[in-house]
Every structure is written in structure tokens, then in C-alpha cells.
Structure 1
């Protein structure tokens, strides 16, 4: 590549990065979309610095589009933020683009730069250096433990179905608490593990003790999560129908930098609670939104269920809308939209208080 002249160094340029586990591929384009260069860098602290310096060598860098800002690109995004660079979160190219242009890391990096230049993507990446990030990490561990415990419980019940009659009759009528305790205290003779009746007892004891260990792990993580959620946003935690798990999920979905959500409508769209227009001709209608953060959507759903059971205003709304001919599912979708609006106000109000 020929050296950059002084005049070329003064032009405004836009960067794009395709991120991977071990390497990041960067591209630089000018304001009319011409490619000025592509280069690959290691996904390390020194590699991030070299990537940024390389981009600056092509001109005045105005913004950078980055794929995978919440995964492989997290480290690069932190450096770009520290350098006061505008970072745009971009998605991978759509199938139509890839069908005509092919697929390679330089092509993806160029597409990221062009998406940032054209304003096709304007999303701001989440910050990964605050208490919300700590909350996310703890929630990942807890959710994994909850999933594993549920799977362990299903495996135990499957083994009981095919267990010998005597053992099955002893266990099948117990509730889950007594079942776990009983199986954990089984004393099979492991020397005879080749016998199916003994082997199933050994397996049930192992699964039951795993279940107990996972329950302890979940409880320990919960003790860390609840005060952290309360410290981040006590008003959200105190809202009707919102517990530590729901509040934690919504805080993680919104991110540390809540100002990246321009409005309550944007928050509802993020949570998959904003209906999608599906009108055509004389037909005006909306369809169910199956996008967004499904964990956040599930959190709103739990809030609605709690309020339908205990909140008089929500119950009155349900009765009124039912008389108007709406189904329960449709009413719950409407309620999730209202809840998203209310909780967004609590999240952003907390930001304003912190700023003051």
C-alpha cells in the first residue's frame, strides 16, 4: 500500500471491525464509501491499540462500526470508549448481501463501516465496566445453575419411571423436597453396581446430591444478587410485581448506559413488547413481536401475572378488555406494553437521580 499523503490524512474516514475470538479485521472507508484499506489485528490489548492507530493513519476517524460489541468485540469497544470514539453497534450483513458479495472477514468489516457511515445502524453498545456488568455475570452463573438443577430433576423423574417396582413405589408419591432428601440418603451397595436395581439407586443418589449442591449455589448467588440490584435501582425493585430476578434482568437488558435507549418505545421494542405494524391496503393491524430480548420479555410477563393476581387496577383492566372481546393473550400483550412504559420511567429516573 502506498504511503498516506498529508492531504489524504486530513480527510474524514469511518472504520468498521469484524470481531473474532483471536483476531479482529478492520476496514477504513471515506465519506463516499471508497475502501481505503483493510487489515487484521490480534484480539489483544496491544492489537486493539494497533488497530486504532492504523485507522487514525488514514485520516480523521469520525466513528467506528463494530460487530459483536457484547462478545468478542467487548475489549475493543472499551478502548474506543476510553479514546472518546463514537462506536456504532452493527449486525452481520444480511443474507442477500452475502449472497451477492460473498463472505470474508474483510468484506464484513467493510460492510460494518458502510453501515456506520450510512446510519443504517445507530445502536450504542452497552458499557461493560459497571455494576450492571457485575450483575450480568452473577446472573449468568445463577441461571446456569437453575437450568442444571431443573435438568437434574427431570433426569431423576425419568429414572424413577423405569426403576424396579419396590423403589418406584417408595419414591413416586413424594413431593420434590422429600424426593431429593430420600434419594440423597440412599445407601446402595456400589460393589453390585452391575445390577440394575443397585445402579438406579446409585444414579438417583448422585443426582439428588447434585441437586442439593446446585440449590446451595443458587441460594448463595441470590444472596449476592438481591443487595446488588437494590443498590443499583431501589425504585425498580420496589415496583409492584417486581422482584430481584425481574429487576436484575431488566437492568441487564437496558445496560449500564441507559441513555442509549432513546425513549420508552425503544425500551419496549428492546423487550419485544412493542407490536409490529402489519398493515396493507385497507387493512390496518399489528402483529405479535417475536423479536427483542426474550428474557426481558419473560420478565415483563411475570410482572403482569403477579399484577393480574394481586393488583385491583390490573384486574379491572382485564375485565373491561374481556368485555370488549379481547382474548387473554391479547390483554397480556397490552399489559406488558404498559408495564414496559412504567418500568422504563423508573430506570431512567434512577439515572437522573445519580446524575444529580
Structure 2
């Protein structure tokens, strides 16, 4: 029996589905209004093809809810990046015409002829870590904004202003000595008190968030935190962005995904490589922080860095080389953890 591929172009208010045969020819299409019954309507419509697979554009974005519903129903679902469907649209006849049915058709065609698309699986511990790390980023950014604002207000209340690296306790100590003279300074002091209360609240929320991260990491049974320079927040970020490490066949594929592998830019007899500015920038940033910590704190990472410097590398080149090496270490650690978990479950 032939397998039918159903491409889905998701939007906030509607989802458009197009079914294609093995040759990529459209055989049916349907538009579904997004409401509580959308998933059931889609399944009833697709039941006419017992052998089917789904392709959802942006299964990590607008298509997340529908893709997760399909995965929970044990349907075969793949995630089609919008960049790939856009390329398919440009190569098609009338490629500048963008409609929902045409987009859904191109999503299905990409899934039909690409074998390297990510399979959508049910949300697991990595999703929880992703939510917690995103919340942590929001809290830290808000804390920085409040701290800067408090610093600016104290600058107008204290001779010489407040010191750098301002904390809630330091600010509270400084504010005890403030004796406003004018009504304007009274207003500044009141605002400073409000900002201090906000800062204390954010400190508590950050602390609670990191405690949740530690619990989630313990549930994932990872050993990443045993690596030098890789604490709770970074380990959570790495796991949340990688998910299932088995989707990377080799450490070289993994390094390409993290953007730590240089790109070949050779031409003729000139052999050269250039910096990879692509890949997952959040993971690349995490590797950069780990490298900086290892270079600063000593150990094998610092030894490797110094060896590269001795070979004539610039500090920047030596640091990039260390990031590439750390990418391999992270990959191997996650693969080893995965094997242990599979063995324990067997």
C-alpha cells in the first residue's frame, strides 16, 4: 500500500493540509479552523489513507501544539524547517506565489524527498529544561534592567553614586544612610525602595528557578555537570537545545550543529577555513562560556589552550580550537549517558 504524505502549513487561526502521493502530486487538500476540535477533524480527514505520515512546518513554533498532538497519537511526524519549504517554493513553477495550500504542498514535497528531517517526538525532560532555561533568561534580563535602573537612581541620591556589582544587600546598606532634603529626593528614595523590592523578588525567583533546574537535571540523569565549567544553568541549556543526541550520527555532525566546526573555504591550492557563524547560537554561546571558564580555572582545558598558543595560534584561534574539542566532549558524554540509560531500562 502506498504511503501518503500530508504537509501542514500552520497558522494561529487556521491549519492548511495537503496530501500528496509518492510522486509528490497533490491528491487532496483541506483547511481547518483552529479550535478545540481541530485535531479530531484532521484525524477524521486523514483516516482515508491508512498508510500516512505528516510533515509540519515549524513543529517547534506555530506548529508545536498540532505536532505534539500527532506524536502523542503515535503518528509518524517530521519537522520541516521554514527555510526548506521556502526553497521548494522558489524552485516551483510560479515560485513567487505564496498561498497556504501552496505552502502546505511544498512542505509535503520537502518531507517526501528529504530523509534527514527531524522526527517529532513527545515532549520530555528536555522540553521542561528548555522552558526553565528560557524563564531563567527572562528573569536574569529583568534583574539586570532593574539593577541598572536602581544604580541610576542611587547615583542621584549618593555622592559618587553606587559601586559597580550592585546587589540587593549592598543597595539596602547604602539606602540606610540617605537623608533626602528636597521633595524630589524624597521621590527618588521612594522609587529606589520600590526597585529594591523588585530586585529582592527577582533574586528569589532566580534562586527558585535554579532549584527547579537542578531537580530537572537530576531526573534526566545527566553527567554533564561533572565537566569543568559546566554548571546547572549551562547543563540545562545544553540538554534543552540538543534533546535526543542520537539524531547526530557523529561528533562532526554535532559540531556543525553547534557552530563550533570551521567551514571549508578552500579554493584551488589554497587550503583555508573560515569561522562558522551558523549553527545553534545558544549552544555555541554555552561552549564559549565553558571554554572561558576552563581557560581561567586551569586543568586540561587550560593546558590544551596553552599548547595551541605555543603552536602559534592567536588567543582567539586557540579558544575556538578548545570550543571544538569541548563540543566532542559534550557529545561523547551525552552518548555515554544515553547508553547507560538504555542499558538500565533493558
Report TM bin, short chain.
0.7 to 0.9
- Mean CA deviation greater in 332-341 or 261-270: 261-270
Conserved? CA contact 1:186–1:205, under 8 Å: no
RMSD over aligned CA atoms reads 2.6
Alignment of 1:5-154 (within 5 A): 11-44=2-35, 46-58=37-49, 60-61=51-52, 63-92=53-82, 93-94=85-86, 97=89, 100-119=95-114, 122-125=117-120, 127-128=122-123, 130-154=124-148
Alpha-carbon distance in structure 1 between the residues aligned to 2:330 and 2:24:
41
Render the CA deviation track for 1:106-127: whole Å, top value 9, x for unaligned.
2211111011011175223354
Partner of 1:220: 208
Alpha-carbon distance in structure 2 between the residues aligned to 1:204 and 1:95:
53
The two structures have a TM-score, normalised by structure 2, of 0.87
**Per-residue deviation at 1:250?**
0.8
Conserved? CA contact 1:41–1:51, under 8 Å: yes
- Mean CA deviation greater in 94-103 or 148-157: 94-103
Alpha-carbon distance in structure 2 between the residues aligned to 1:225 and 1:186:
38
Q: Give secondary structure in 1 for the equivalent of 2:78.
A: strand
Conserved? CA contact 1:254–1:267, under 8 Å: no
Call closer, same or farther: CA 1:304–1:339 in 2, change over 3 Å: same
Partner of 1:172: 162
The two structures have a TM-score, normalised by structure 1, of 0.85
Q: Which structure 2 segments of 5+ residues have no match? A: none
Alpha-carbon distance in structure 2 between the residues aligned to 1:38 and 1:243:
49
Q: Give secondary structure in 2 for the equivalent of 1:242.
A: coil
Q: Which of 245, 252, 262 is the aligned partner of 1:275?
A: 262
Q: Which structure 1 segments of 5+ residues have no match? A: 1-9
**Per-residue deviation at 1:210?**
0.7
Conserved? CA contact 1:88–1:123, under 8 Å: yes
**Per-residue deviation at 1:142?**
2.0
Alpha-carbon distance in structure 2 between the residues aligned to 1:259 and 1:44:
35
Render the CA deviation track for 1:174-215: whole Å, top value 9, x for unaligned.
7513543246668899xx8xx433332222222221111100
Alignment of 1:198-217 (within 5 A): 198-217=186-205
Call closer, same or farther: CA 1:289–1:76 in 2, change over 3 Å: same
**Per-residue deviation at 1:229?**
1.0
Alpha-carbon distance in structure 1 between the residues aligned to 2:256 and 2:34:
32
